[in-house]
Amino acid sequence: MGNIVAIVGRPNVGKSTFFNRLIQRREAIVDSVSGVTRDRHYGKSDWNGQKFSLIDTGGYVKGSDDIFEAEIDKQVELAIDEADAIIFMVDVESGVTPMDEEIANLLRKVKKPVLLVVNKVDNNKRLENAVEFYSLGLGEYFPIASTNGSGTGDLLDALIEALPEVEAEEETELPRFAVVGRPNAGKSSFINALIGEDRYIVTDIAGTTRDSMDTRYNRFGFEFNLVDTAGIRRKSKVKENLEFYSVMRSVRAIENCDVCLLVLDATRGFDGQVQNIFWLAQRNHKGIVILVNKWDLVDKETNTMKDYEAMIRREIEPFTDVPIVFISVLTKQRVFKAIETAVKVFENRSRKIKTRQLNDVMLPIIEKNPPPAYKGKYVKIKYCTQLPTPHPQFAFFCNLPQYVRDPYKRFIENKLRQEFDFQGVPVTIYFRKK
């Protein structure tokens, strides 16, 4: 379980450039997901073998300057609550601004490591000018230039040193199911309906569940851990619904589970925030089950299940092989089916296919539909195998891996799904040179 590092600061100090710089090194190699990455504000990085998740808070603020003030305070508070360490970025060109001072005031009270980073220091004159940031009362600062990366090494060394030791997860054999979704979608009620006791106080205020709880669930022959992320908010801080807030809440739970049960409110639809959480789970290669809650409140004349399901599948292309279950936690309708589906997805995610069986099935399909010739070259795929990873990844060995295009990868993925049932599970396919 890695640490979470949040980058805070007022707009235009270069947070995103810095963020991209840190995750690019890895993401460019690891994450060749087809299509665009949907949200550029969350990524993983590592330094000297220490992995951590990075969240760029600035990416979530949209609006005019006067809105900024209030929003930034909220983001800083959220970062203080959620992150293990905070990088506070300021910019030497504009010097210390009132907003920097305000953020510094919030950060000085924090018990967590705060690293003050002065950006855009790309010459000696600016290095001298950076001294004024001592006035923020946050101690030492790190001068960097995020455009060319100078100074980031020292900063990362200090960051890794400041991060708390990550306790090794106790290896429980039990699958972990995380219940995620935006505030008020019915996550706690779903868990109550399952457990059959009101362990959580469910009220209508968004975010009254105090902390992420693991519930050991053992009924009807299923045993697993349920992780609840239902808006882990202290009451004093229940604020308007920041988009950022659901995502940040979900990061830990998602990184730490096997299957995500994504609960959405049928009356609100599959909106941007729900999609962010969906892609977060997909990018972390987790099993996913979409639960459409409050189906009893939807006007059935206009909205049939089929249309609704088709709408969701359009939004999640190209990864459409995901189970969608319509539930109502009030009437307990199909709540148990939701869990059965999650167990099934967990099994799909842990499925290991013997190499011989894989080749017997896939090679004839490939022979019938070989990759189209590219620049007059023919790709010959000789052999395939499943890689020994926690989620399904396959390597196909061929003579010219660089000529296999995305559409063909998708074709192979769809065939694998048809033949071996990976419903609800992201599948990664690599083409490698023999």
Per the annotation, binding residues are 9-16, 56-60, 119-122, 181-188, 228-232, 293-296
Task: Report the 3 state secondary structure along 309-363.
Answer: HHHHHHHCCCCCCCCEEECECCCCECHHHHHHHHHHHHHHHCCCCCHHHHHHHHH
Phi first, then psi: what are they for 171, rounded to 5°? -80, 90
Rounded CA-CA distance 326/42 in Å is 29
The helix/strand/coil state of 394 is strand
Sort 318 into a burial class: Cβ within 10 Å, 0-12 / 13-18 / 19+.
middle
Residues 115 and 155 sit within 8 Å (Cβ to Cβ): yes
- DSSP assigned state of 10: S
- AA letter at 215: T
Per the annotation, binding residues for GTP are 9-16, 56-60, 119-122, 181-188, 228-232, 293-296
Whether the bond into 11 is cis, omega within 30 of 0: no
Can you read off the two tokens belonging to residue 136?
């923020």
48 CB-near residues (< 8 Å, 6+ apart): 156, 157, 160
Can you read off the two tokens belonging to residue 56?
């760029």
Rounded CA-CA distance 298/381 in Å is 49
Rounded CA-CA distance 434/431 in Å is 9
First to last CA, the chain: 34
Rounded CA-CA distance 101/107 in Å is 10
DSSP states of 95-161 as a string? Answer: -S-HHHHHHHHHHHT-SS-EEEEEE---SHHHHHHGGGGGGGS---EEE-BTTTTBTHHHHHHHHHH
- AA letter at 263: V
Q: C-alpha angle with apex 318: 317 to 322, nearest 5 degrees?
A: 75
